[in-house]
Structure 1
Amino acid sequence: MIERFYLKDYLSFNEVELELKNGLIVFTGPSGSGKSILMNSILSSLGASSCEASLCESSVTWELDLEETGIEEDDVNVFKHIKKEKSRYFINNQSVSKKVMSDIGSNYLRHLSLRDYSDFENENLLCILDNRVEHKTQKLDTLKKEYRESFLEYKKVKQELEKIEEEEKKIIELKEFAAFEIQKIQEVNPKEGEDEELLSIKKELSKKEKVLESIELAKSLFDNEHHVLSTLDLLDADSAFFDDAMNELRVVLDNAEEKFGALEDIEVEEVLNRIEELGAIKRRYGSIQEALAYKEQKIKELEAYENIEITKDELVQRHAVLEKAVNELADALSELRAKELKSFNDDLNKYLKDLYLRDAKAALHENRLDMLGKDRIELELNSTALDKISTGEFNRLRLAILALKSEFMNKNGGVLMLDEIDANLSGEESMSVAKVLRKLAKYFQIFVISHQPQLTSMGNQHFLIHKKGDESFAKELDLNSRIEEIARIISGESITKEARQFAKELLEASR
């Protein structure tokens, strides 16, 4: 639910703060007082609309999944829309895009003034129908679980079979390509680490001549070694350090000569050509290691292509067995749903009768197999498709569907926003809508703008939106103030004694 709403600097509103309760929340007030402005700003605070307010903020009790949303959850989560030079959106002071806020809000918030068909989607209607069946028998839950497991396995096998059949059409081309790729790598026959080793050899070859010349010059040092020793002897100095140094130098130079001598038989041209071959492999595949892995992959693919007929035969047999099992389970689901459909239609039409609407009919049609079975529910109002009925009929039909769904709800359903859903209705029709909303208010927090006394009297919380000069205000009404406001709705600005009495009777009846 939305626990608190705050608005600052939006059109005729300077500042508004609402402490909100659960249930049915009614906004009333004279035309032009700002009711729709206030409703739109609440939607905007949750990413469901746009407005030019400096700040609109809603504190909600909705759950936030950190893993899914990346937003830390608080005891009360705060959704905020700030407008300065541009609009910015925040959840718990963490900056988010409007889309992210809207997507999170859409899990809990529905604006019924929009022509939204989500309540009539097959998944939702089947869910309502299945909940009714499950209430009468535990058999459906077990059946659905068994069906889902079988369907997922069936779907997996079907996809594998389709892939093989697709590959089979171009199997010759695929085999030739795999063999060509394998041969291309095998011709070069690269070894892991070979490229680094060759680059090292190339580097050594490039300086071989220069190093050997330098070694020859350095060796002349040994020709004068005895002079150094004689001098140290005359100076009575210990010559051990000099002997050690000269021995170490001999080892270094001998090793170097041996190392570069080993390169005598290596052709520079061959090294450069091999480096180029390996470079071409690396450019194509990324690295020698990746090239070798790719070769192994193609070898396995080639083996799989050789065995494709055997694999296909096995899959065809498994597919046939699973398809039969899934269809039998889907038929069992359809049978249980079909038995409940009459009761579903009867109860739906009870709500519609209360809402002064013509009869609706939900019919089951066979659909292609999916996670829900093979059933598709199509709903018509007095034989008229949903896209052909009026907006008023559409919204009242949605209310009836929601009421039907709420019968087996075990948790709060979120927030419903209704803008003048009782507009142009008679008193009796308005009261019928109010009664359905009061029922739904056990499971939803409902915001509604109303100009009718019947719906207004049913509210669990009542706010008067009014103007003083050019500024709009929102005020929560107590019982006596509600009587006065409902009486104003009934008789206009000149409130009569009879209007007050009728308002009082409506409120007493609603309580």
Structure 2
Amino acid sequence: MLLNLAIRNYALIEDLKVSFKEGLTAITGETGAGKSILLGGLSLVLGKRADRSSLRDQEVRCVIEATFDINKYNLESYFALHDLEYDPITIIRREIHPTGKSRAFINDSPVTLEVLTPLGKRLIDIHSQHQTLQLTEQDFQLKVLDAFAGNKEILEAYQLKLSQFKKNQKDLEMLLTSQRQFYKEHDYNSFLLNELREFELEEGLQERLEDENNQLTNAENIIEFLSKGNQLLTDDQIGIVSLLQELNVVSSKLMGLGKKFEILKDRVSSVQIEVNDISEEMQSLQDEVVADPIKLEEVNQSLRQLYDLQRKHDTSSIEGLIEIKKELEVKLDTSEHLDSEINRLELNLKNLEDELTLLATKLTKQRRKAIPELKSKLEEFLNVLSLPNASFSLDLKTIEEFHKTGKDDLQFLFAANKGSEYLPIKKVASGGELSRIMLTIKAILASYSQLPTLIFDEIDSGVSGEISNKMGDIMLQMSQHMQVFTITHLPQVASKGDRHFKVFKTDEENRTKTQMKELSADERIVELAEMLGGKDLSDSALAHARQLLN
């Protein structure tokens, strides 16, 4: 329920603060007084997009703030979903800055319009004249029938299953695409993998091959250098081994002549042992190194193959090839997994389809059951609104596809007179008839679902005084269950309000501004009399106004 509305620096509104209560509130004013501006400002806090052109003073920000009692709307989960602080008395604020930048807040927390707009739709339903065209839309017609049939829980369950069904379909299509791609690349990937497997890749292989190639290529030089080194070590006259042997004998004679000579002897012995070991190693290496052109060609061939593989797979290391080999093995091993997962999803899809069909069938059954009573209610209300011969035919057809509302197509067919052919509403109903039908539907829905605050913007336009009187009665009846506003030019409707506000313009300091005030009992009589007979108040107009209020 809308409790308070404050608008500052918006269009012709300089600074407006107004409070509302439950029941039926009538809003009147001359054409051009600013009733549409009031609705425009309210629309901004409900999520409508804005720009700086709506600023009254282009140098000052516009602020619109609305306070709502949301205690009965079950919105806790919505607030939790968007990480907002829930308060039964919630304040929505919209700011438009001179730069054109717009900001929105819910209980002082900044939000995007994507968060604000769905909330706004659950708080206020502004029914303007052009929205009567909703009557011709199948989604709206199904929404009416489902509300009347009490299909809320079944429809929610159906839509949840439909979401799962579509996700399953998407996942299955992705896997089928992967499977097709897999089969397309299978032979090539198998060839690449076999090529890598044949090479027997292992870490360090490249370094070993390159080292072996280097030794085989330089075998003669290696043998020559090792031979010369060994000669320097083992020559009988000048060999290092012989000289160290003599040095060892000399250092042995120093033993027992002091601790430091013992240490010296140990060091000489260590050097002698190391040199002897080097000599043996050089001899062993010399025996191992052989100039082998055939082996060299084999090593070179292996290296060429390795370098070719690295270029083909765009890597510079043996580790990179090993990783690519593992990836190819995974790709080729996914075939069995893909088939299994596809089978699982196909089975799951079939189960979901069966569950959807069952829920869609329940929806259809409930809808067909509700159609006669809804038809009767519609015709009963229209009879009250001076359409005694109007009748409806609700054409419900089952289709093959799963739509967001089930497997039904619905069309409201209308005949305004006896014997007339039933045709779609948009083809046969006049503007006045559309208004009455929409009011009738809203009145019926008010008894079967929790509607938000309703604002009727001249829904009584184009109807006679007697019919408008009956429309006012219906709105008054609706207001017993919900908060209802009616913006009207008809005194018969305005007189039904529990409260009456007037929108008017004043000129101050060569500037026009829109204002709004709640009328007292005496002021209501004057306002209604002016609506009946113009500014020149007559006794009959005043008497008629009093009669309307009574």
TM-score (norm 1): 0.68
In the alignment, is the contact (CA less than 8 A) between 2:138 and 2:409 conserved in 1? yes
Alignment pair present for 1:380 and 2:395:
no
Task: State the match for 1:177 in structure 2.
Answer: 185
| CA distances 1:439-468 after superposition (whole Å, capped 9, x unpaired) | 333444333321111111122332111223
Q: How does 1:294-309 map to 2 (within 5 A)?
A: 294-301=331-338
| CA distances 1:52-101 after superposition (whole Å, capped 9, x unpaired) | 13222222345372464454444413131324120403123444444553
CA drift of 1:348 comes to 0.8
- With over 3 angstroms needed to count, the CA separation of the structure-2 counterparts of 1:144 and 1:451, relative to structure 1, is closer
Give the secondary structure class of the aligned counterpart of 2:381.
helix
Task: State the match for 2:5 in structure 1.
Answer: 5
* Identity level (%): 21
Task: State the match for 1:363 in structure 2.
Answer: 395
Q: 1:402 aligns with which of 442, 453, 459?
A: 442
Alignment pair present for 1:88 and 2:125:
no
| CA distances 1:120-139 after superposition (whole Å, capped 9, x unpaired) | 655554454455555xxxxx
Task: State the match for 1:347 in structure 2.
Answer: 377
Does 72-81 or 431-440 show the bigger shift? 72-81
Give the secondary structure class of the aligned counterpart of 1:15.
strand
- With over 3 angstroms needed to count, the CA separation of the structure-2 counterparts of 1:11 and 1:150, relative to structure 1, is closer
Task: State the match for 1:219 in structure 2.
Answer: none
Alignment pair present for 1:188 and 2:196:
yes
Give the secondary structure class of the aligned counterpart of 1:115.
helix
In the alignment, is the contact (CA less than 8 A) between 1:60 and 1:79 conserved in 2? no
Letter in 2 for 1:59: T
Q: 2:544 aligns with which of 483, 502, 506?
A: 502
Q: 2:64 aligns with which of 56, 59, 63?
A: 56
Unaligned runs of 5+ in 2: 56-61, 219-228, 230-242, 249-253, 286-295, 416-421
- With over 3 angstroms needed to count, the CA separation of the structure-2 counterparts of 1:275 and 1:180, relative to structure 1, is closer
Does 74-83 or 486-495 show the bigger shift? 74-83
Q: Computing the radius of gyration over CA atoms, which structure comes out larger, 1 or 2?
A: 2
Q: 1:110 aligns with which of 125, 141, 146?
A: 125
| CA distances 1:266-316 after superposition (whole Å, capped 9, x unpaired) | 9776665554455469999x9776555433324534x669xx9xx69x979
Task: State the match for 1:426 in structure 2.
Answer: 464
- With over 3 angstroms needed to count, the CA separation of the structure-2 counterparts of 1:487 and 1:203, relative to structure 1, is farther
In 2, Cα distance between the equivalents of 1:204 and 1:440? 95
- With over 3 angstroms needed to count, the CA separation of the structure-2 counterparts of 1:108 and 1:162, relative to structure 1, is same
C-alpha RMSD over aligned residues: 5.4
In 2, Cα distance between the equivalents of 1:35 and 1:150? 44
Q: How does 1:48-447 map to 2 (within 5 A)?
A: 48=48, 50=50, 52-53=54-55, 54-62=62-70, 63=75, 65-66=78-79, 68-69=81-82, 71-75=84-88, 76-92=90-106, 93-98=108-113, 100-113=115-128, 114-115=130-131, 118=134, 121-122=137-138, 125-126=141-142, 128-130=144-146, 132-133=148-149, 175-189=183-197, 272-273=307-308, 275-276=310-311, 279=314, 292-301=329-338, 334-335=364-365, 337-357=367-387, 358-370=390-402, 372-382=405-415, 383-388=422-427, 389-409=429-449, 411=450, 413-447=451-485
CA drift of 1:391 comes to 3.9
In 2, Cα distance between the equivalents of 1:121 and 1:373? 16
In the alignment, is the contact (CA less than 8 A) between 2:63 and 2:93 conserved in 1? no
Does 357-366 or 333-342 show the bigger shift? 333-342
Give the secondary structure class of the aligned counterpart of 1:407.
helix
CA drift of 1:426 comes to 1.5
CA drift of 1:16 comes to 0.5
TM-score (norm 2): 0.64
- With over 3 angstroms needed to count, the CA separation of the structure-2 counterparts of 1:132 and 1:424, relative to structure 1, is closer
